[in-house]
Amino acid sequence: MSRNDAISEFIAYGFEHYGDGFGIVLFGITILISSGMIPWLSGRQKRGVKGYLDAQNDSRPPTTEEEYYHSHYLTFKVGIFFVVLGVFFILFQPS
C-alpha cells in the first residue's frame, strides 16, 4: 500500500466512522501538510509570496522561488478553508 493509498483510507475512515465534518477536517489537514507551508509562513515563505505579487506589479517575470512559494501558499489557503468548513460541519451539523 502506497502512502497516498494510506492517506485516502485514513480520510475515508474518518468520513465513515465520525461523520462528514471530521472527514473534511482530515482532508483539510492533508492539504495543509502537502502544501509544505506548515512552519506557518516562515520569513522566506513570506518573502516568496510577496515577491511574486511585486513581480506582477513591476511587470517582470517572477523567479522560480517566487512561483514555488506562491503556488504552495494558494494550496495552504485551500487547506485552511477545508479545515474551517469541516469544523463548521462538526459544530452545526447541516443536513
Whole domain around residue 12: which residue ranges? 3-92
> What is the share, in percent, of the chain residues with pLDDT greater than 70?
87
- Across 11-15, 26-30, 60-64, least confident range: 11-15
- Over 60: is that where the pLDDT of 42 sits? yes
pTM score, two decimals? 0.65
How many structural domains does the chain have? Answer: 1
Nearest to 42 by CA among 69, 82, 65: 69
Query: 21: exposed, middle or buried (C-beta count within 10 Å: 0-12, 13-18, 19+)?
Result: buried
